[in-house]
Amino acid sequence: MTLFITLYFGPGLFRTILIIAIIYFGIRFLKRYLFPKLIDKGIKNMQQKMREQQQQQQPKRPEGEVTVENQRSNRRNNGQDNGEYVDFEEVD
């Protein structure tokens, strides 16, 4: 009886364990070697794109030229009443 069970379940069980082991070691390989390389490549690609964007935004100026850029405030009091100021005194 045990010989029948061993012969009947043996190859199927062995194949199942083999498939589970292949999947386990495959995932370990991917996590250890492939994913870090893909992430590094993605980060380097993103850094390169950001550098290109920064270079496009910065105007080209000759060395030594000094410029002063003022940012004007667009806040204007368009007749809006922000309340009334009341002067007060402390009473002892």
- pLDDT tens per residue across span 18-49: 899 999 999 999 899 999 999 999 999 999 99
Residue 22 to residues 13, 28, 58, 87, 92: CA-CA distances in angstroms?
A: 14, 10, 53, 82, 86
* pLDDT higher than 90, residue 80: no
The residue that leads in pLDDT, 34 or 70, is: 34
In contact, 29 and 23? CB cutoff 8 Å = no
Residues 10-21 pLDDT 10s: 677 788 888 999
